[in-house]
Amino acid sequence: MMIDTILVSLQQSGHRDTRPRRAIVEVIVGRQGAFTAREIVAEMAPHGFGRATVYRTLAALQSLGYVTRLHVGPECDRYTISDGSHHHHLVCTACGAVFPIAGCEVEQAAHTVARRIGFAVDGHHLDVYGRCATCGVRRRSED
């Protein structure tokens, strides 16, 4: 179970396996798509878990690489689950689904340009947004 893997990682990095944290991780894993801190806070409220806890947990997950911040259009407050191996995503603006982009292809293109001007690349961020196959089909028949 992905949830336990993450909780174990948290423990290994000196954190504890607590009820609020577990609930937050469960929600995030269950979503399988982009989400905002706001949304998680709303889902935690009924359980009596506060926003501070959500933000702190999100920060911890981010530093462990389990969560990545997306930059879709003008928005920069969305996150997605990540396994740390790829940094790029196709984000569906309709349903929030997130598909990983194999890093190599994009990275190669960026590095080609960088090399040409002697730029030393430290990192990069790419997010592509649009409609996933499911939502694209739905649009054609419903819009």
Partner DNA sequence: GTGGTTGCAAACGCTTTGCAACATG
Partner DNA sequence: CATGTTGCAAAGCGTTTGCAACCAC
Catalog residues that contact DNA under the rule CB under 7 A: 10-11, 14-21, 36-38, 44, 48-53, 55-57, 59, 77
**From CA 100, how far away is CA 141, in angstroms rounded?**
27
Pick the stretch among 7-15, 27-35, 38-46, 91-99 that binds its own copies (CB under 8 A).
91-99
Q: Is 98 in the site for its own copies (CB under 8 A)?
A: no
Q: Cα torsion at 31, 34, 37, 41 (round to 10°)?
A: -30
Decide whether 29 or 94 has the Cβ nearer to its own copies. 94
Q: Is 59 in the site for its own copies (CB under 8 A)?
A: no
Cβ contacts of 3 within 8 Å, gap of 6 or more? 22, 25, 26, 29
State in Å, rounded, how far the first CA of the chain is from the last one. Answer: 38
Residues that bind its own copies (CB under 8 A): 69, 71-74, 76, 88, 90, 92-93, 99, 101-102, 105-106, 108-110, 112-114, 117-133, 136
